[in-house]
Copies of this chain bind each other. A is one copy, B any other.
Amino acid sequence: MARKTGSHSEITGPKIRAEAQRLFARHGFAAVSMRQIAGAVGVQAGALYLYTPDKEALLFDLLKTHMDELIAAWHAEPGGGDAHARLERFVRFHIRFNLERAEAVFLSYMELRNLSPENFAVIEGLRKTYETELEAILKAGQDEGVFLIPDTKLATMAIIAMLTGVNTWFREGGRLSRATVADIYWDMVRKSVGA
C-alpha cells in the first residue's frame, strides 16, 4: 500500500489540522503524539510531514489561524456608534465567537508555552492587537464621559478575562442560553465601567 484511493491534499490537510486541534485541546500539546494525530486522520505518522515541517509548526498554524480569524471577524462586525454601543457589540461578539470555537480558544490560552520564542511573540502580538481594540473603545468612552474607568489598561484585561471565562463553564443545553448569558455579562460589564 502506498497512496490511498481518493486521497487529496485539500482533504487530508484540513483533516490533520482539525484532528490536531481536537486532540491538543483535549489532552494537551505535549501529551499528544504525531502517531495519535495520524491515527485519528487515518494515515501513518510519516504522512503528516507532507503537511507540516514539524509538530510545533502544526500548533503554531492552529494558533495563528485562530488569532487571524478572530481579528478578521471583529473587523467584519459593523462599526460606528458611540462607545456604549461599541462596547456592547464587543462583549456580545467576544462571547459568541469564543463559544463557537471553544477548542481553538482553549488551545490559544493553554499551549502558548510550547511555542518557540519567535512564534510566541507572533501570537502575543496578535493578542495584543485584539486587546487594543477593546481598550480603544474604553478610552473613547472615557473621553466621551460615558465611562468612569480608573485605568483603561486594567479594565481591558479585567473585561477580557471575565468574558473569556464563559468558555470554562458554559455547556450547550444547560440552564442558560448563549443569548441570556451574553445579556447578563453585558449587564455586568456595562455597570463595571460605570455606564
A114 to B29, CA, bound (A): 12
Q: How many copies does the complex hold?
A: 2
Residues on B with beta carbons closer than 8 Å to the beta carbon of A110? 110
Closest to A165 in B: B161
> Which among B150, B153, B160, B193 is the interface contact of A165 at CB below 8 angstroms?
B160
Residues on B with beta carbons closer than 8 Å to the beta carbon of A58? none
The interface stretch among A43-51, A62-70, A182-190 is A182-190
Closest to A169 in B: B157
Residues on B with beta carbons closer than 8 Å to the beta carbon of A165? 157-158, 160-162, 165
Which residues of A in the span 165-195 have a Cβ within 8 Å of any Cβ on B?
165-166, 168-169, 175-176, 181, 183-185, 187-189, 191-194
Give the interface of A toward B (CB within 8 A): 26-31, 110, 113-114, 150-151, 153-155, 157-162, 164-166, 168-169, 175-176, 181, 183-185, 187-189, 191-194
